[in-house]
Homo-oligomer: A and B are copies of this chain.
Amino acid sequence: MQNLSSMHNITEHHNHQRCIDDAMTRAKALCHSRQVKFTRIREQVLACVWANHQPVGAYTILEELAKDSSRRPAPPTVYRALDFLLDNGLVHRIASLNAFIGCQDPSHQHQGHFLICRQCRNATELDTDIINTAINTAAKQHGFSVEVPCVEVVGCCAHCKENRDND
């Protein structure tokens, strides 16, 4: 996976319904092939996560589920669904935001790198080898074996920079 997130610039207009549809289709297929259950709740939670490209908190998901359903689910319901989705690589957790975002390519396990716009809050997942290589090189100098690299870069995305200039 080299250029998945550059297929389109999520900060510009794009057919987001397609993002959602693709993500749900992928998830369904992947769970089927792995013989794990893509239950209603898990599906609902994944849909919430894919509502947009901004990382979403567990309690926000809870609110959304409460709207859809007649009765309000409890936190464990959401966290269990999120754990399932995390285990299956369908979502990533953004530690610095205590929030979750849909994975662009769940077909292989990975910990993505994220560019998070301070202004529009959109997060873009990268998986350019260049960052992993740099981390591995630096770690190796210290005799350190990398298991889970976590890279969460806050800054300003191209779209927001443009808008700011236009003001």
Decide if A149 is an interface residue (CB 8 Å cutoff): yes
Check if B131 sits within 8 Å of A138, measured CB to CB. yes
Interface digits, A146-167 against B, CB 8 Å rule (1 contact, 0 not)? 1111111111111001000000
A114 CB → nearest B CB, Å: 9
Copies of this protein chain in the complex:
2
Selected from B128, B131, B147, B156, the residue in CB contact (under 8 A) with A145 is B156
A148 touches which of B128, B130, B147, B155 (Cβ 8 Å): B155
List the B side residues contacting A5 at CB < 8 Å: 142
Chain B residues with CB under 8 A of A118:
147
Interface flag for A53 (CB, 8 Å):
no
Residue on B nearest A150 in the bound complex, by CB: B152
A138 contact set on B, CB distance < 8 A = 113, 126, 128, 130-131
Contact B137 A130 (CB under 8 A): yes
Q: Is the interface of A mostly helix, strand, loop or mixed?
A: mixed
Q: Are A158 and B141 in contact (CB under 8 A)?
A: no
Residues on B with beta carbons closer than 8 Å to the beta carbon of A150: 96, 150-154
Q: Which residues of B contact A134 (CB under 8 A)?
A: 130-131, 133-135
Give Cα distance in the complex from A148 to B130, angstroms. 18
> A133 CB to closest chain B CB, in angstroms?
7
Listed A/B pairs (24) with beta-carbon separation below 8 Å: A6-B141, A9-B142, A9-B143, A96-B96, A115-B139, A118-B147, A126-B138, A131-B131, A131-B134, A131-B135, A131-B138, A134-B135, A139-B153, A139-B155, A142-B157, A144-B158, A146-B155, A147-B156, A148-B153, A148-B154, A149-B153, A150-B152, A150-B154, A151-B151
